[in-house]
Structure 1
Amino acid sequence: HCLECELSSFPPPSSEATSISLVVRPHLNPVPTCFLGDSGKVTTVVATPGQGPDRPQEVSYTDIKVIGNGSFGVVYQARLIDSQEMVAIKKVLQDKRFKNRELQIMRKLDHCNIVRLRYFFYSSGEKKDEVYLNLVLDFVPETVYRVARHFNKAKSIIPIIYVKVYMYQLFRSLAYIHSQGVCHRDIKPQNLLVDPETAILKLCDFGSAKQLVRGEPNVSYICSRYYRAPELIFGATDYTANIDIWSAGCVLAELLLGQPIFPGDSGVDQLVEIIKVLGTPTREQIREMNPNYTEFKFPQIKAHPWTKVFKPRTPPEAIALCSRLLEYTPASRFSPLEACSHAFFDELRQPNTRLPSGRDLPMLFNFSTTELSIQPQLNSTLIPPHARSHTAASAHGEKNLF
């Protein structure tokens, strides 16, 4: 059996049904004329706030322009008339037979490192009976992908302080969504929004996200190439939120290397790249990823030392963290808060650390009681002494949180 032939006959993808529900016919806003490009026009729609009770209200916006297209639909940028704030409006065709999973998930998330759903509304499409769901989200100007590309084009590497600030906030967002039972399933630099001034990072695009339930199968054909965990490449359908940790490890490695760590156009190519670094997985590791492949003969390759994977001047703590994220065995990977507690991020916990511009670091220790109850044994590491008066724990006068 060769690797190519065996892997080309992966288990057939299972399908994920979201429960069919009778969707109560929502208020349908007419097609906003200015979506056709008339940016000076004011559009008013009846929209429901993303959080809180279902109390539809009128929302007006202007200065509309298209900022993104994808298989899902279109993303516009607009300015809210009331607050003058910029927002992003993600417009997706709504399948009337199903509840929109992205909407259900976004409505229950509330975290400073996750793009916030401000409102949502429905609009009619060009064709009869077409209904579009419009998600009105925080607008954040840049992505980690574009920031990294900017440094690459300038033949330089992203300053390590940014790698720390961005990755820490990504892990914080993952700790929160995983505590809510949600797996993002598409962590990649393009889905990490950043404000270049403040260095605040917000995780976006929950279009592939899912509430994972133990014992219920999930499709393996999610997550973008280069960032797919090996268990997904092996066609596992019983995976856990640890697939997001693998993807985050790939993002960290990419920021350190200046290029993707496991490139490859097919699952086989990616697996070959992974094996070149981690070595051939043991029988036990294969069993942990997908038991159907334990009998399979892999080319026997020794692991490449992590220090040799990266450039000579890469901080050892960064390499050590990478090695604890990019593990074959899903359960052996660090949890998001274990990652946040890692020595690589110690500089962020020093009281005098600043951004290169001289600005303060973004808020990194404003943990909610929800966050502090995930792995309480880590709280004394996560919250440096100088920040202890600012956390939710002291705000609520709660004991035993550190």
Structure 2
Amino acid sequence: MDDYEKISVVGRGAHGVCWLCQRKDDIFRQKVIIKTVALEGLAQEEQNAIMGEVTLLKRLHHPHIIGYYESFKTENAFSIVMQYAEGGTMDKMISEQKGIKFAESIVLNYFTQVAIGLEYMHSKQILHRDLKTQNILLNKKRTIVKLSDFGISKELSTRSLASTIIGTPNYLSPEICEGN
């Protein structure tokens, strides 16, 4: 973290914190997000999952997927440096509407971008498995959608099957809820 200046906390999870930062030696002062996960007390399986997220992020280069810059390990934490989406989450944008519905054309535009991002992931044999409004980020003008949070994503091989029921309960598909 020595190369970055912390600006503010933008999110907290069970094992870590997401920081809004700027690289100290960047003349453009580009903002980034650094997801820092404390390693103390984490089982080896959880540490492997963090490394798996990095492996997937390194493979995904698409306009509708949050960009990966680098990752590094310190004595007690692992950090992932990613693109900053200034428009925040889709969840935040929806709550700001205070019950006012979006125009159909706007919804269709967002839906199409999400579908394009997912199609790209699927072409790489990667399942997101936690798609929800909190994991859909927006650019500053809120015109471009970026999928994020690949912590429970799964890479499929020709012999594997995504059979584990995983994700956020309110966002699971009916087929998953029914056990199909």
Per the shorter chain, which TM-score range? 0.7 to 0.9
What corresponds to 1:184 in structure 2? 128
Query: Is the alpha carbon distance of 1:234 and 1:212 closer, same or farther for their aligned partners in structure 2, counting shifts above 3 Å?
Result: farther
Report deviation, 1:148.
1.2
CA contact (8 A) 1:182 1:209 kept: yes
Report deviation, 1:88.
0.5
Report deviation, 1:96.
5.1
Q: Percent identity?
A: 27
Q: What is the rounded CA distance, in whole Å, between the counterparts of 1:137 and 1:64 in structure 2?
A: 15
Q: What is the rounded CA distance, in whole Å, between the counterparts of 2:81 and 2:11 in structure 1?
A: 14
**Structure 1: which 5+ residue stretches go unaligned?**
1-31, 33-42, 45-60, 126-131, 236-288, 290-402
Letter in 1 for 2:132: K
1:112 aligns with 2:63: yes
When Rg is computed on C-alpha atoms for both structures, the one with the higher figure is: 1
Give the alignment of 1:143-162 within 5 angstroms. Answer: 143-151=89-97, 153=98, 155-162=99-106
CA contact (8 A) 1:220 1:232 kept: no
- 2:61 is paired with a residue whose SS is coil
Q: What is the rounded CA distance, in whole Å, between the counterparts of 2:7 and 2:32 in structure 1?
A: 10
Task: Render the CA deviation track for 1:246-283: whole Å, top value 9, x for unaligned.
Answer: xxxxxxxxxxxxxxxxxxxxxxxxxxxxxxxxxxxxxx
Give the alignment of 1:4-19 within 5 angstroms. Answer: none
What corresponds to 1:254 in structure 2? none
Letter in 1 for 2:171: Y
Which of 133, 149, 159 is residue 78 of structure 2 equivalent to? 133
TM, length-normalised to structure 2: 0.85
Count of paired positions: 171
1:77 aligns with 2:20: yes
Task: Render the CA deviation track for 1:155-191: whole Å, top value 9, x for unaligned.
Answer: 4111223212211111110110000000000001110
Report deviation, 1:71.
1.8
C-alpha RMSD of the superposition: 2.0
Which of 120, 140, 153 is residue 209 of structure 1 equivalent to? 153
- 2:170 is paired with a residue whose SS is coil
- 1:133 is paired with a residue whose SS is strand
What corresponds to 2:74 in structure 1? 123
CA contact (8 A) 2:85 2:140 kept: no
Query: Is the alpha carbon distance of 1:144 and 1:198 closer, same or farther for their aligned partners in structure 2, counting shifts above 3 Å?
Result: closer
Q: What is the rounded CA distance, in whole Å, between the counterparts of 2:110 and 2:22 in structure 1?
A: 26
Q: What is the rounded CA distance, in whole Å, between the counterparts of 2:34 and 2:20 in structure 1?
A: 6
Task: Render the CA deviation track for 1:277-296: whole Å, top value 9, x for unaligned.
Answer: xxxxxxxxxxxx2xxxxxxx
- 1:170 is paired with a residue whose SS is helix
Higher relative contact order (CA 8 A, sep 6+): 2
- 1:197 is paired with a residue whose SS is coil
Between Structure 1 and Structure 2, which shows a larger proportion of helix residues?
1
Between Structure 1 and Structure 2, which shows a larger proportion of strand residues?
2
Letter in 2 for 1:73: G
Tell which deviates more after alignment, 166-175 or 191-200.
191-200
What corresponds to 2:141 in structure 1? 197
Which of 37, 61, 65 is residue 92 of structure 1 equivalent to? 37
